[in-house]
Amino acid sequence: MNKQPCPICGRKLPRGEQIGHISMEDAPHVHMWKTHCLYCAVTLNRITQHDEEHVPWSSSRVTLANLIRQLGDDEFAGMQDRVKQYPSILNVWREFLKPRRPNDEIWRYAISTTDDPYDHGLTVRRAHHLIGSFCEASVFWEEIDQSIEDCRAMVDYIFNDAL
């Protein structure tokens, strides 16, 4: 099931792997697929009903219309430093950056105009193609968890060690 080429380089793709299936009573079955373009080093996804072969592969859920602005070098370095503090997110960050090539850019996006933090983040832009997405909300929640742990440690110190 792989008649559609890579949307970035146009080359033939390896056979897709089904990674999920949703069955609903009054709607067609939905299948989620994944494959990897060896030339682009990009993971591609698509969602089909039944075994449709005409549905193109996608390299990101973000569209060009969702882009806000390119990340500057200082802002990117700051994000790198922030992410390095949280090992659980660091692996996600590395996977996000893995397909990045020297001329690729990192852009901010917003999928909707709501305040939902999961609709905002970063994506890799290669010419007019977008690759993957990184949700900044994951870093925010790690920072909140760390702040809570710091407060707990301070309270524990005040009530147990300092008295």
Give all domains of the chain, ordered by start, each with its CATH number.
1-59 (2.20.25), 64-147 (no CATH)
Give yes or no for residue 64 having a pLDDT over 70: yes
Residue 87 makes CB contacts below 8 A (sequence gap 6+) with: none
- Average pLDDT of the chain is 81
- Confidence grade of residue 163 (pLDDT, cut at 50, 70, 90): very low
Evaluated on CA atoms 39, 42, 43, 46, the torsion sign reads negative
| Residue % of the chain over a pLDDT of 70 | 75
- Confidence grade of residue 17 (pLDDT, cut at 50, 70, 90): confident
HSE, side-chain direction, 13 A CA sphere, residue 36? 5
Q: Which helix (H) or strand (E) holds 48?
A: strand 42-49
Q: Write down the pLDDT at residue 143.
A: 55
More confidently predicted of 21 and 42: 42
User: How is residue 152 written in tokens?
Assistant: 């707990």
Among candidate residues 28, 40, 60, the one with its CA nearest the CA of residue 131? 60
User: How is residue 14 written in tokens?
Assistant: 């390896």
- Which of 4-18, 92-106, 118-132 shows the highest mean pLDDT? 92-106
What single-letter DSSP state applies at residue 66?
G
The average pLDDT across 3-19 equals: 87
Compute the C-alpha angle 108/114/118, nearest 5°: 55
Give yes or no for residue 5 having a pLDDT over 80: yes
Q: Write down the pLDDT at residue 2.
A: 61
Taking a C-beta distance cutoff of 8 angstroms, is the pair 42, 28 a contact? Answer: no
Strands 120-126 and 105-110: antiparallel
Place of tokens 């030339």: 39
- Confidence grade of residue 117 (pLDDT, cut at 50, 70, 90): low
Taking a C-beta distance cutoff of 8 angstroms, is the pair 33, 42 a contact? Answer: no
Which pTM does this prediction carry? 0.74
Taking a C-beta distance cutoff of 8 angstroms, is the pair 127, 143 a contact? Answer: no
